[in-house]
């Protein structure tokens, strides 16, 4: 045999279970080599290079699972001298997979591995486009991915709906992953309102990019914010990732999916000018004795709405003029949950003398109310509560509704801010920054990093802009006048 062994080896891919011939091949996928002007099958050449020349009448039978394979231990010889009635073709090695031609350039590859509890084999199929070599490489990758079959969906899971997959994931995310209650509620709300009617009843394994484009396109047309659309994407992505880890699905249609550009124009929360803030506090003092102390403490401390709701008496040290912030109330979805602060940290906030007096008066009023109603307030009771014993917090949503009502009834809508607790928090940051306080001190008081505080909580106010204009004008015109 006249053959360049190095050139022959260069046309073999030995990286997988099958050693695949990459050169010319017949229509049945068996490799061919021209030696001394004659076409010889690549399996025969591989066999003879390993074991020496065969008799003229002997044939080398190809690998049963892969015609393009030239791995010697996958081949066998049909010897003419001792030929017997043809035996049944040997079955492919278990787990080696199969390739079936569906049409020109389209192949169906499949792998069987393991069995379900009901005795049915677990199987995984994929469609591959390209040459047979491309299909063989995809099959080798699929064999590796499937492994012993433990990651393949059970027969029952093949009918798993997206609804069931998302329900399982949200339970896992809340109980085992520890996502915030508000995050779980946001995920569930986004899925229920914008995805469920389009893909909820579909099999999880059959969801396509077209389905996602349809659902998210509707969200874009409704002018939902990027954050809202990202919640919808996150719940689907998390559900499919969880499903793959637990053998519920084999692929994730959200991989590579991009959220469309949002048409939503956010309305910024503006920090008030001091005149507007004082007007709000005066109206609350006169007309809403429940809301007034909450607003004053919010303005002097910059506490978040949930932190104000979750503040307990044993976190106050009025003699030292400070309070500790380490919990907050979240009532997303109507369920009240006491949790850690947004940054999961504990911070101390100093109080001024007037605010301390305000808190002493408020606590005494709560004690007097409890005594009148023949109950007692516990040392760890909530500072702000509608209950006689202050055992349950004043819900964040209640504070928002109360402020909205106050703003409407007493014509507070014409100010330069939207009269929310978030606006009070932004006022605190902006006021301290405009007064020249160290950004690290301001961010520590607010419970954020300096970067987040500067980006989200320190806002441009008209008074500060005018002061900046006067400063710059004075410097420029003063110089011009001296020349």
279, pLDDT greater than 50: yes
Between 392 and 440, the more confident residue is: 392
Average pLDDT over residues 278-297: 92
Query: pLDDT (tens digit, 9 = 90+) per residue, 426-474?
Result: 888 888 888 888 888 888 888 877 777 776 666 666 676 677 667 666 7
Residues near 483 by Cβ (< 8 Å), separated by ≥ 6? none
Between 268 and 218, the more confident residue is: 218
Q: What share of the chain is helix, strand, coil (3-state, %, to 5)?
A: 45, 15, 40
Q: 320 and 293 in one domain? A: yes
Q: 427 and 295 in one domain? A: yes
The last residue of one of the domains, among 45, 78, 111, is 78
- Whether 228 maps to a domain, the answer reads yes
- Whether 106 maps to a domain, the answer reads yes
Q: Per-residue b/e over 379-412, b at no fewer than 16 CB within 10 Å?
A: eebbbbbebbbbeebbbbebbeebbeebbeebeb
Q: 164 and 124 in one domain? A: no
- Rounded to 5°, the CA angle 387-393-399 comes to 100
pTM (2 decimals)? 0.61
- Whether 88 maps to a domain, the answer reads no
Q: 338 and 401 in one domain? A: yes
Q: 291 and 188 in one domain? A: no
Maximum mean pLDDT: which of 133-147, 159-173, 429-443, 468-482: 159-173
Candidate from 244-253, 417-426, 468-477 with smallest mean pLDDT: 468-477
The last residue of one of the domains, among 137, 152, 167, is 152
Between 260 and 127, the more confident residue is: 260
The chain-wide mean pLDDT, for the chain, equals 84
- Whether 269 maps to a domain, the answer reads no
Alpha helices in 311-438 (DSSP H): 353-372, 396-409, 421-434
333 by Cβ neighbours in 10 Å (0-12 / 13-18 / 19+) ranks as middle
139, pLDDT greater than 60: yes
pLDDT value at position 81?
46
- Whether 259 maps to a domain, the answer reads no
The last residue of one of the domains, among 226, 245, 264, is 245
Q: 191 and 110 in one domain? A: no
Closest CA to 205 of 255, 273, 251, 140: 251
Q: Rg (Cα) of the chain, in Å, rounded? A: 36
Candidate from 22-26, 150-154, 389-393 with smallest mean pLDDT: 150-154
Q: 147 and 228 in one domain? A: no
pLDDT value at position 38?
85
Q: 432 and 403 in one domain? A: yes
Q: 348 and 453 in one domain? A: yes
Residues near 379 by Cβ (< 8 Å), separated by ≥ 6? 313, 314
CATH of the domain at 361: 1.10.443.10
Q: 329 and 211 in one domain? A: no
Between 367 and 109, the more confident residue is: 367
Q: 379 and 234 in one domain? A: no
- Rounded to 5°, the CA angle 305-311-313 comes to 160
Boundaries of domain holding 40: 5-78
- Whether 475 maps to a domain, the answer reads no
Indicate the number of domains in the chain.
4
- Whether 220 maps to a domain, the answer reads yes
CA 16 to chain CA centroid, nearest Å: 35
Are the C-beta atoms of residues 128 and 138 closer than 8 Å to each other? yes
Q: Copy the structure tokens of residue 441.
A: 């001190």
Average pLDDT over residues 387-414: 89
pLDDT value at position 483?
46
Closest CA to 56 of 72, 33, 79: 79
Q: 56 and 176 in one domain? A: no
């Amino acid at each position: 045999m006249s053959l360049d062994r190095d050139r022959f080896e260069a046309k073999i891919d030995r990286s997988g279970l099958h050693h695949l011939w990459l050169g010319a091949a017949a229509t049945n996928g068996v490799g061919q080599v021209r030696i001394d002007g004659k076409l010889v099958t690549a399996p025969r050449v591989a066999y003879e290079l390993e074991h020496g020349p065969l008799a003229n009448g002997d044939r080398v039978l190809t690998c049963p699972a892969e015609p393009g394979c030239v791995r010697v231990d996958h081949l066998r010889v049909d010897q003419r001298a001792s030929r017997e009635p043809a035996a049944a073709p040997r079955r492919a090695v278990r787990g080696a997979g199969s390739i079936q031609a569906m049409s020109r350039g389209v192949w169906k590859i499949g792998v069987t591995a393991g069995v379900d509890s009901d005795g049915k084999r677990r199987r995984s199929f994929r469609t591959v486009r390209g040459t047979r070599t491309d299909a063989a490489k995809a099959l080798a990758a699929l064999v590796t991915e499937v492994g012993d079959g433990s990651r393949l969906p059970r027969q029952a899971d093949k009918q798993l709906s997206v609804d069931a997959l998302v329900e399982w994931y949200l339970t896992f995310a809340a109980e085992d992953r520890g996502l915030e209650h508000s995050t779980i509620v946001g995920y569930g709300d986004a899925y229920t309102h914008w995805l469920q009617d389009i893909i909820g009843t579909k099999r999880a394994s059959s969801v396509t990019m077209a389905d996602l484009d349809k659902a998210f396109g509707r969200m874009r047309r409704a002018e939902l914010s990027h954050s809202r659309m990202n919640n919808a994407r996150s719940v689907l992505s998390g559900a499919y990732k969880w499903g793959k880890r637990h053998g519920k699905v084999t692929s994730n249609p959200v991989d590579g999916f991009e959220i469309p550009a949002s048409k939503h124009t956010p309305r910024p929360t503006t920090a008030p000018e001091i005149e507007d803030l004082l007007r709000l506090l005066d109206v609350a003092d006169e007309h809403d004795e429940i809301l007034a102390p909450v607003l004053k403490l919010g303005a002097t401390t910059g506490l978040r709405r949930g932190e104000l709701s979750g503040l307990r008496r044993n976190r106050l040290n009025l003699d030292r003029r400070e309070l500790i912030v380490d919990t907050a109330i979240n009532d997303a979805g109507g369920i009240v949950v006491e949790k850690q602060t947004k940054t999961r940290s504990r911070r101390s906030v100093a109080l001024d003398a007037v605010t301390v007096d305000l808190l002493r008066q408020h606590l005494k009023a709560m004690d007097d109310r409890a005594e009148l109603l023949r109950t007692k307030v516990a040392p760890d009771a909530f500072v702000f509560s509608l209950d006689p014993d202050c055992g349950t917090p004043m819900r964040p949503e209640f504070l928002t509704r109360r402020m909205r009502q106050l703003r409407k009834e007493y014509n507070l809508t014409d100010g330069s801010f939207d009269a929310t607790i978030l606006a009070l928090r932004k006022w605190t940051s902006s006021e301290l920054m405009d007064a020249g306080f160290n950004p690290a001190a301001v961010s520590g008081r607010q419970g954020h990093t300096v970067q987040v505080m500067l980006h989200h909580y320190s806002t441009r106010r008209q008074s500060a802009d005018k002061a900046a204009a006067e400063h710059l004008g004075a410097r420029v015109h003063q110089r011009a006048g001296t020349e």
